[in-house]
Amino acid sequence: MSIPFRAEHIGSFLRPTELLEARRHAVANPERLRALEDKHVLRVLKKQQELGFEVFTDGELRRRNFMSDFTDAVEGFDMGEDTPRAWKAGEQEESSVSRVAGVVTARLRQVRRLTGHELPFLKQHCPGAIKMTLPSATQFPAIAFKRGATDKVYASHSALLWDIVEIMKSDLALLAREGVSYIQIDAPRYSYHIDPTWREWIRKEIKVEPNALLEESILADNACLEAARQPGITLGIHLCRGNNRSHWYAEGGYDAIAEKLFGSIQADRFLLEYDDARSGTFAPLRFIPKGKTVVLGLVSSKRPELELGDALMRRIQQAAVYVPLEDLALSPQCGFASTMEGNLLTEEEQWAKLQLVVETARRVWG
C-alpha cells in the first residue's frame, strides 16, 4: 500500500556548524555530540511539522552520510581505503576521492542494529508518521569492492551483495515491526544503467553485462523490501544520479531501465529525480504499475535558487499524462545532505524549498 502523502522530502537535512564540529570531535566528547544530536533532531522534527509535512525523519543528523548506519554497525570495512570517483557540478568536471563507504577488506559481521541509535528517540518524539531511510544493498558492492583487497574475502561483487542483503533483511524486518510507518531504500546505483559511461564501467570493473547486473540488483532490493512487507507499512525506493556536495556523477533518462525496473521493483512509492534535463522526460513513467505512487523530485536540493510554484504545477500536469494525478506526489530530487557536509545552499534556502513543496502540493491536491 502507499500512504497518501503528497508533500515529501527524501530524508536528509543540512547540519548546523556546531553539530558538524561535535561530530569531528566525537571521540573526545561523545556526550556533547549526543546532546547536540538530540537538540537538533527535535528542532528539525518541529520544523517539518510547522511546514505542514505529515511524514517525518530525523534528518539523518546522527549519520556521517546517508549510508553510515550500515558501515558503523557492520565490521569488515576499512575506512582508510578509498577509490576514485568522478563528480560533476554544472559543466565542470571535478575528480575527487570518495571515502564515504571505505573498502570491504574482511567478511562482514553485524555488531549492532543499523538504526538502533535513531529509532527510540524518534518513537518518543516524532509528531507523526516515521520515515526511516536506509541505503540499498546494491550501494556497497558498487563502491566498496576493491580488487586486490575485497576479492581476498569475497570472490565477486555478487557474493558481497548477498551477504549485505541478509544483514539488511533482518534489520528491515525489525523496523517494520517496531512502529515505522514508511521505509525508504536509497538506491543511487541504478543510475549506472542509464548512463553509457557507467554501463561500460560495469562491464570493465564488475565484469558482468549491465542487464545481468540490473536483474540481480532488482532481486536484491526486492528481497530487502519483502522482508519489511507488513500491513500498514509503506515501502519506497529513491533513485538519483549523485548528490554529494551539490555534485552528480550520472546523467540520462529512465528510458533504458523503466520497463524492467518499474515493473519489477516491489515498492509502493518511486521517488524519482526530475529537477533538470539530466533526468530526461516523463515518458518512462508510462511503465509505472497502476496504483503505485510516483514522487516527482522537481525541486533541486543542489541549487539555492528557489523554483517557481506555477512552473512546478505545470510539470506535475505534464507528468499526469503518464501517471494519474492521484498517484503523484512532490518532493525535492534528493536529500539536502547525503554527506554530513551537505549541499551548497543555506539552511534557510533548504526550508524555503521544503515550504514550496508543501504549498505546491496543497495547490495541486488540496
CB 143 within 8 A of CB 98: yes
Q: Compute the average pLDDT of residues 180-186.
A: 97
* Residue 218 in grid coordinates: 532488482
How many residues appear in the chain?
366
* Residue 330 in grid coordinates: 512532490
Q: Compute the average pLDDT of residues 163-185.
A: 95
3-class secondary-structure state, position 137: coil
Work out the pLDDT band at 96, boundaries 50, 70, 90.
very low
Q: Compute the average pLDDT of residues 233-258.
A: 89
Residue 93 has pLDDT above 80, yes or no: no
Residue 4 lies in a domain: no
Residue 192 lies in a domain: yes
Residue 10 lies in a domain: no
Residue 130 has pLDDT above 90, yes or no: yes
Query: What single-letter DSSP state applies at residue 249?
Result: -
Count of the separate structural domains present in the chain: 1
pLDDT in tens, 281-333: 999 999 999 999 999 999 999 999 999 999 999 999 999 999 999 999 999 99
CB 359 within 8 A of CB 7: no
How much of the chain exceeds pLDDT 70, in percent?
A: 93
Work out the pLDDT band at 1, boundaries 50, 70, 90.
low
Work out the pLDDT band at 95, boundaries 50, 70, 90.
very low
pLDDT of residue 100: 53
Work out the pLDDT band at 90, boundaries 50, 70, 90.
low
Residue 98 has pLDDT above 50, yes or no: no
pTM: predicted TM-score of the whole model, two decimal places? 0.94
Mark out the alpha helices in 78-156 (DSSP H runs). Answer: 119-125, 139-144
pLDDT of residue 76: 96
Q: Compute the average pLDDT of residues 126-146.
A: 95
Residue 102 lies in a domain: yes
Residue 268 has pLDDT above 80, yes or no: yes
Separation between Cα atoms, residue 16 and residue 340, nearest integer Å = 10
Separation between Cα atoms, residue 258 and residue 264, nearest integer Å = 10
**Domain housing 92:** 17-365
Residue 141 lies in a domain: yes
Q: Compute the average pLDDT of residues 86-112.
A: 69
Concatenate the DSSP letters of all residues of 113-161 into one string. Answer: -SSTTTHHHHHHH-SSEEEEEEE-TTHHHHHH--TTTGGGT-SSHHHHH
Name the residue among 158, 164, 144 with its Cα closest to residue 100. 144
Residue 166 lies in a domain: yes
Work out the pLDDT band at 84, boundaries 50, 70, 90.
low
Residue 174 lies in a domain: yes
Residue 212 has pLDDT above 80, yes or no: yes
pLDDT of residue 243: 82
Instruction: Specify the residue for cell string 550520472.
Output: 250
The CATH number that applies at residue 235 is: 3.20.20.210
Residue 1 lies in a domain: no
